[in-house]
Structure 1
Amino acid sequence: MVSRLRAKQGGAEIPVVVGDMATTRVEGPFSLVYLAFNTINNLTSQEAQVACFLNAAAHLEPGGHFLIEVGVPPLQRLPLGETILAFDRSETHWGIDEYDVVTQNFSSHHAWFRDGSYRQFLVPFRFASSGIRSYGAWPA
């Protein structure tokens, strides 16, 4: 990702630090710490997610904001007692999420079908559902 950024116009001027978002420290402070597109789910334990929050707070200036962009799992679509929910069913891709609502862990199972063969992989995640506020749009 860093090499793709560097290849773009102006990409060489953007400072980049590669590290663990739960522990890596950088020069600050900042008015905004932003976790983009579900990255918080990649921290697969509550301890790691809490460490990320603490690390973000340590980088904020007084009055700063910590913004997390994350999808809320559609747990209300799970039938009682079920743990598996399909999110994509096409001729070339099957996507199935498997939820453990007690531990707040889930795994995203993917299978791609191409040229008479298939490949599959599994991605582990963790969601944190308590206290999530969802905004449909930014206030004007």
Structure 2
Amino acid sequence: MATIVPPDHGSVNAEPPRAEPRIAGPAYAAEFAGDYDRWFGKPNISASTVDALDDLAALAGAGRPVLELGIGTGRIALPLRARGIDVHGIDGSPAMVRQLREKPGGTEVPVTLGDFSEVPVTGEFGVVYLAAGTFFELPDQEAQSRCFEKVVPRLAPGGLFVFDAHVPEQLAAHAQGAEVVSEGEDHLVLCYRRIDASAQRYRSHYVIHEAGSTRHLRVEFRYAAHGELDLMAGRAGLRLKERWGSWAGAPFTRDSAYHVSVYEHA
């Protein structure tokens, strides 16, 4: 059952998960929420994401609220709100929401605690969106299809459903070695991905070295190619409006590492 966390609510009490490269699962989120932005924040990606969503919100109808599935610490939501957009959110992690509440403007964002595949909110939104690969946090095709289905009644006339997703072939090609996620004088975060093509899943191993100690996290995701995503969207009553090769609007080509898909009512 979803729990509504009012904009001025300073504390939360519940459990649940999150996205790539977001540390998923209630235990991980509770332990590492305070370090999430420091380790995984990528200002250049976030800025282009905010620009694109700002444009889409205007396209879908100025003045309409927007909804972020997996709002987390508010890295996208708060800059959008600063531009005058009425942002609402859903997240499964109370610890992540607490980080959002501690930021300037964070107490003003309406957040629902719950499973975002169920889209447990009422009302209509000009844009429903996810960012940073959050859609693949949903554990199987059933949950991903349900998310499409539950989004549809939440879209206002002319509303859009938007999210980014890995291209599986590129994901596999770049899963051969460790990637430096974050480094500084006081820490080093490495990521190694292991692909299981037979199950359409990948596991991200995060090795975090800080203050003389090393921790290891394992996070699993269920990926889908864009053709499968379009099929799920179509069955839910949506159709592809646009697909880009980046949040900055680059063309989607055979060399794109990920895509941004924009769906509308069919």
In terms of Rg, which structure is larger?
A: 1
Structure 2 regions of 5+ residues with no counterpart? 1-95, 230-242, 251-266
Selected match of 1:86 from 172, 177, 193 = 177
Secondary structure of the structure 2 residue equivalent to 1:121: strand
Secondary structure of the structure 1 residue equivalent to 2:126: strand
Question: TM-score, structure 2 length as denominator?
Answer: 0.44
Mean CA deviation greater in 110-119 or 92-101:
110-119
CA–CA separation in structure 2 for the residues paired with 1:59 and 1:13 = 21
Query: What count of residue pairs does the alignment treat as equivalent?
Result: 134
Secondary structure of the structure 2 residue equivalent to 1:47: helix
1:72, distance to aligned residue in structure 2 (A): 2.9
- 1:66-90 CA-partner distances (Å, limit 9, x unpaired): 0002333424627xxxxx5224168
CA–CA separation in structure 2 for the residues paired with 1:130 and 1:101 = 15
What is the correspondence of 1:1-140 to structure 2 with a 5 Å cutoff? 1-73=96-168, 74-75=170-171, 77=173, 85-88=176-179, 92-114=188-210, 117-131=213-227, 133-136=243-246, 137-138=248-249
- 1:79-130 CA-partner distances (Å, limit 9, x unpaired): xxxxx52241689444211112232111001223445542211000111113
> Structure 1 residues 110 and 28, CA, compared in 2 at 3 Å: closer, same or farther?
same
Judging by fraction of residues, say which structure has more strand.
1
Secondary structure of the structure 2 residue equivalent to 1:85: coil
> Structure 1 residues 94 and 37, CA, compared in 2 at 3 Å: closer, same or farther?
closer
1:65, distance to aligned residue in structure 2 (A): 0.6
Secondary structure of the structure 1 residue equivalent to 2:117: coil
CA–CA separation in structure 2 for the residues paired with 1:92 and 1:7 = 25
Structure 1 regions of 5+ residues with no counterpart? 79-83
Percent of pairs with identical residues:
37
